[in-house]
Chains A and B, each alone.
Chain A
Amino acid sequence: MTAGTLLLIGGLIFLSGSALAAFYWSVKDGQLNNLPDAARTIFDDDEPVGTPTDKFPSKQ
C-alpha cells in the first residue's frame, strides 16, 4: 500500500467517525430536544418573529 492509499483510508475513517461523533454529540447535548424553539434561535428581541428585514431601496 502506498502512502497515498493509507492517507485516504485514514481520511475516510476520520471523516465517517467525525460524522458519527457529531450526531452522537447533537443528541447527547440536547440539540434535538426542543425543535420549535430551535427554529427561533435566529430571532431576538431586536429582530423578533414577525419582523421582515429586507426591502427594495426606496427612492430618496
Chain B
Amino acid sequence: MKPQSLISSFNPANNPDTLASHERAEIDASTRFPVLLFFSSAIFWLLVGSLFGLISAWKMTHPALLDQMAWLTFGRLRPAHLNAVIYGWASAAGIGVGIWLMARLCRVPLLHSKLLISAAIFWNLGVLVGVLGILAGDSRSIEWLEFPGYATPILFVAYAFIGIWAIIMFRFRKPGHVYVSQWYLFAAFLWFPWLYATANILLIWQPIQGSAQGAVNWWFAHNVLGLWFTPIGLASAYYMIPKVIGRPIHSYYLSILGFWSLALFYSWNGMHHLIGGPFPAWMVSASVVASIMMFIPVVTVAINHHMTMRGHFGALKWSPTLRFTVFGAMTYTLVSLQGSSMAIPSLNTLTHFTDYTIGHAHLGLYGFFTMMMFGAMYYIVPRLTGWEWPSAQAIRWHFWLVAIGIILMVVSLSIGGVLQGLALYDPQVSFRNSLDYATPFRWLRGISGFFLLGGHLVFAGLFTAMLLKIGRPKDGPAYFTAPAKVEASPL
C-alpha cells in the first residue's frame, strides 16, 4: 500500500499499515508466556490422556491386560483418561486460545499476565492431584466429576483467577463493536464457574439425595460440553475461518441469533441422558424439546460457516489452520444433529447404554473441539514465538493420522453400538452375548487409538520444535505469503 504522507515515506514505522501490524504484534507478544504455558501443559495432558485412553480401549477386548496393579485397572484408568483429556487437555487448550482471542478482540495488550500464570500453575496442580487421586483409588464415581474432593478447590481457585481476568480485560477493552467470538468467550468464561460450583455444591459439599443426583450430574456433564467447550470452539471458528481466508462471515445476523439461542436452549439438554430413568416425565420431556430446539443454533452456525467458506474450499490446501478448523466446524454440525436425534426417545432406547454413545462423545470432544483447538494453535503459536512451523509434511501427517483415527473410532463404535443395541432388544440373545456383537468394533476402536496417539506425538514434536526455536524464523510481522506464491501442497 502507498505511504500516506511524506513523513511516512521516510519512516516506515509511521505508515498506518505498519502501525496496525505493530499493534497486533504487540498484543500477540503480550499473551506469549501465559498462552504458551497453557498450550504446553495441555499438550502434555493430551499425551497422558491418550495413553490412558488407548490402554482402556484395549482392556475392553483384553480384560487381563495390565490388571496386576490396582492403579492400572479399568475402573481407575478410564476416569483418569476422561479427566486428563477434559480438564488437562481440552480446558487448558481452550483457555489458552481464549486468552489470545480475548486480547486480540479487546484490542489491548494483555493485562495482569501474572494472574494467568498463577491460574495455569494452579490448574495443572489441580489436574495432577486429581488424576493421581483417581489412580490411587479416590475417584468420586460421578461421571465427569471423578476428581477427589481435595483436587476440586485447587481447580476452582485457578478458575477464579481466569474469570476475574476475563472481566478486567473486557472492562478495559478498546471501544467499538464486540465481535461475536468475544460474546461466546466471555459467556464461556462466566458459565463454567457457575456449572462447576453448582455441581460441586450439590454433589460433593452438600450432596442432595437419591436420583436427583443423576439429574445434577448430567446437567453438569452435558453443559460442560455445551456451555464451556462449544462456545470456545465456535469463538475460534468465527475468528479463524474469516481471518484465514480474508472474508467476513456470511451473515452476522445469524451468528448473533446462534449465540443467543445457544444460551437459551443448551442448559436444558442434560436430562436427555436420563430418558427412561426414575425422573418426573416433564423434566425429561422438557429436555427432549430443548435438544430438538438446538437445531436453531446449530443450523445457524452451519449455514454461516459453509456460506463463508463457499468458493474458498481450495484454501484447505494451503492453510493448516483452516483444514483443522473446517474439519471441526463440519463435525460440529454433524455431532450436534446426531445429539438431537439421540434425544428422541424411540432412537434413544436403541442407542442408550451402547458404544454408540461413546462414539458420539468422542465425535464431539475430539472431532469438533480438539480439531478446532489444533487449528487455532497452528495459527497462534507462530505469532507468539515468531518462528515458522518446521515441517509442512509433519503437519500433514498430524492431520491425516488424527482425522483417520477419529473417523475410524466413531464409525466403528457407531456400527458396533447399533448392533449391540439391537441384540439387547432381542429376547433370544443373552446380555452376555449381546456384548459379542460389539467386540470386533472395539478392536477397530483400539486400532484407532494408535492413529490418534501417533498424531499427537507428531504434534507434540512440532510444538516442542517451536518452543526450542528449531527451524527458521517467520519473515515480517504480517506472516503472509500470497496463496499463489505458496508451493502446491496437495492433500
Q: Chain B residues near A51: list those with CB within 8 A.
A: 246, 480
Alpha-carbon separation in the docked complex, A42 to B392 (Å): 27
Encoded as 1 (CB less than 8 Å from any A CB) or 0, chain B from 242 to 281 comes to 1111111100110110001001000000000000000000
- Please state if A53 and B21 are interface contacts (CB–CB under 8 Å): no
In the complex, chain A residues 6-55 whose Cβ is within 8 Å of any chain B Cβ = 7-8, 11, 15, 18-19, 23, 26, 31-32, 35-55
- Please state if A59 and B487 are interface contacts (CB–CB under 8 Å): yes
- Please state if B252 and A38 are interface contacts (CB–CB under 8 Å): yes
In the complex, chain B residues 217-256 whose Cβ is within 8 Å of any chain A Cβ = 239, 242-249, 252-253, 255-256
- Please state if B478 and A46 are interface contacts (CB–CB under 8 Å): yes
> How many interface contacts (CB-CB < 8 Å) are there between A and B?
132
- Please state if A58 and B487 are interface contacts (CB–CB under 8 Å): yes
Q: Which residue of B lies closest to A46 (CB)?
A: B20
Binds A, one of B143-151, B318-326, B336-344: B318-326
Contact check: which of A4, A39, A42, A54 meets B202 at CB < 8 Å?
A4
- Please state if B246 and A52 are interface contacts (CB–CB under 8 Å): yes
- Please state if B486 and A56 are interface contacts (CB–CB under 8 Å): yes
Q: A45-B20, A54-B319, A56-B318 are in contact. Are A40 and B248 (CB under 8 A)?
A: yes
Q: A11-B194, A52-B315, A54-B319 are in contact. Are A39 and B388 (CB under 8 A)?
A: no
The minimal Cβ–Cβ distance linking A2 to chain B, given in whole angstroms, is 6
Alpha-carbon separation in the docked complex, A45 to B17 (Å): 6
Classify the interface of chain B: helix, strand, loop or mixed.
helix
- Please state if A54 and B194 are interface contacts (CB–CB under 8 Å): no
- Please state if A52 and B256 are interface contacts (CB–CB under 8 Å): no
- Please state if B206 and A4 are interface contacts (CB–CB under 8 Å): yes
Alpha-carbon separation in the docked complex, A43 to B104 (Å): 11
The minimal Cβ–Cβ distance linking B408 to chain A, given in whole angstroms, is 25
- Please state if A39 and B481 are interface contacts (CB–CB under 8 Å): no
Q: A4-B201, A8-B198, A57-B388 are in contact. Are A49 and B319 (CB under 8 A)?
A: no
Alpha-carbon separation in the docked complex, A18 to B263 (Å): 12
Q: Chain A residues near B489: list those with CB within 8 A.
A: 56
Residues of A within 8 A of B (CB): 2-4, 7-8, 11, 15, 18-19, 23, 26, 31-32, 35-60
11 residue pairs bridging A and B, Cβ less than 8 Å apart: A39-B242, A39-B249, A45-B17, A47-B20, A47-B24, A49-B246, A52-B245, A54-B244, A54-B379, A54-B479, A56-B320
Q: Chain A residues near B443: list those with CB within 8 A.
A: none
Alpha-carbon separation in the docked complex, A8 to B18 (Å): 50
- Please state if B486 and A42 are interface contacts (CB–CB under 8 Å): no
Question: Considering residues A40, A54, A58, A60, which has the most beta carbons from chain B within 10 angstroms of its beta carbon?
Answer: A54
The minimal Cβ–Cβ distance linking B491 to chain A, given in whole angstroms, is 11
Q: Chain A residues near B17: list those with CB within 8 A.
A: 45-46
Residues of B within 8 A of A (CB): 1, 16-18, 20-21, 24, 105, 176-179, 190-191, 194, 197-198, 201-202, 205-206, 239, 242-249, 252-253, 255-256, 260, 263, 315, 318-322, 378-379, 388-392, 395, 471-472, 478-483, 486-487, 489
Q: Chain B residues near A2: list those with CB within 8 A.
A: 206
- Please state if A26 and B178 are interface contacts (CB–CB under 8 Å): yes
- Please state if B197 and A11 are interface contacts (CB–CB under 8 Å): yes
- Please state if A8 and B201 are interface contacts (CB–CB under 8 Å): yes
Q: Chain A residues near B247: list those with CB within 8 A.
A: 49-50
The minimal Cβ–Cβ distance linking B5 to chain A, given in whole angstroms, is 14
Q: Chain B residues near A40: list those with CB within 8 A.
A: 248
The minimal Cβ–Cβ distance linking A59 to chain B, given in whole angstroms, is 7
- Please state if A46 and B21 are interface contacts (CB–CB under 8 Å): yes
The minimal Cβ–Cβ distance linking A37 to chain B, given in whole angstroms, is 8
The minimal Cβ–Cβ distance linking B21 to chain A, given in whole angstroms, is 4
Q: Chain A residues near B481: list those with CB within 8 A.
A: 55, 58
Q: A47-B243, A55-B319 are in contact. Are A35 and B197 (CB under 8 A)?
A: no
Q: A11-B198, A36-B252, A42-B242 are in contact. Are A54 and B178 (CB under 8 A)?
A: no
- Please state if A38 and B20 are interface contacts (CB–CB under 8 Å): no
Contact check: which of B24, B206, B252 meets A35 at CB < 8 Å?
B252
- Please state if A55 and B249 are interface contacts (CB–CB under 8 Å): no
Alpha-carbon separation in the docked complex, A49 to B247 (Å): 5
Q: Chain B residues near A47: list those with CB within 8 A.
A: 20-21, 24, 243, 246, 478, 480
Q: Chain B residues near A18: list those with CB within 8 A.
A: 190
Given A35-B253, A54-B378; 9 other pairs, CB 8 A cutoff: A4-B205, A11-B194, A19-B263, A36-B248, A41-B176, A42-B105, A42-B248, A48-B246, A52-B483
Q: Chain A residues near B194: list those with CB within 8 A.
A: 11, 15
Alpha-carbon separation in the docked complex, A47 to B390 (Å): 24
